[in-house]
Amino acid sequence: GAVVSQHPSRVICKSGTSVKIECRSLDFQATTMFWYRQFPKQSLMLMATSNEGSKATYEQGVEKDKFLINHASLTLSTLTVTSAHPEDSSFYICSARATDRGWDEQYFGPGTRLTVT
Amino acid sequence: AQSVTQLGSHVSVSEGALVLLRCNYSSSVPPYLFWYVQYPNQGLQLLLKYTSAATLVKGINGFEAEFKKSETSFHLTKPSAHMSDAAEYFCALSASGGSYIPTFGRGTSLIVHP
């Protein structure tokens, strides 16, 4: 099956610093990746759609200057939380859309728990 | 516009009992429907999906769901609950032939008692 990895799985950072989260599709090419945010006991909130080689499309209300997304290759997208604050603490999940195997399906990474102190 | 409603934020069953998690949807175009499971501090795993083929869809771990257009429902069932089924379950919808981006329901927490 298709595997998506995220790194790191957990990160603690101080307020005001920046944190980068990586999302990789390990055995397939993903022209499109998605970044979600999940608060405790709540559903996934789509933050942005990341397209390889072009600018990400952000959902309404998501600050593009705060959540920088780069999709530099067909297997890697990164989310950088800049000048992090405690309210940015959350569970961030990426997913990758597999279209190069004759099917169209979305595969999720294991998530990254960000804690800002 | 499209939306997904999961009835009941928590469902509690005894081990061996029937599991029924409810999902209703609203979509102006024929939908694709999904059920995902999430274990604590993990990402989502696809249980099953409906993409306009058979209305009764069988998934992994003994789960199945039936697409009922007249009721705009896609309820998830399992005949006999196991302790390992305790997790968060999300119903999701995407529009066939259009934007692939899915809309998720709020999730239902399944609690299994011994």
pLDDT digits (tens, 9 = 90+) for A90-112: 999 999 988 765 566 788 999 99
Query: Mean pLDDT for chain B?
Result: 91
Quote the tokens at residue A23: 């999302």
A32, A104, A110: residue with CB nearest B43: A110
A59 touches chain B (CB under 8 A): no
Query: Mean pLDDT for chain A?
Result: 90
Each residue of B63-105: pLDDT tens digit? 999 999 999 999 999 999 999 999 999 999 987 665 567 889 9
Residues of B in contact with A109 (CB under 8 A): 43
Locate tokens 């169209």: which residue?
A: A104
Q: What is the pLDDT of residue B29?
A: 84
Candidates B18, B110, B106, B5; CA nearest to B64 is: B18
Can you tell me the distance from the alpha carbon of B69 to that of B49, in angstroms, rounded to the nearest whole number? 15
CA B18 vs CA A31, A69, B85: distances in Å: 40, 43, 12
Q: What is the pLDDT of residue B112?
A: 97
B45 to A108: CB separation less than 8 angstroms, yes or no: yes
B106 to A43: CB separation less than 8 angstroms, yes or no: yes
Each residue of A21-59: pLDDT tens digit? 999 999 888 888 999 999 887 888 999 999 888 889 999
Burial of residue A115, with CB atoms counted within 10 A of its CB: 0-12 exposed, 13-18 middle, 19 or more buried:
middle
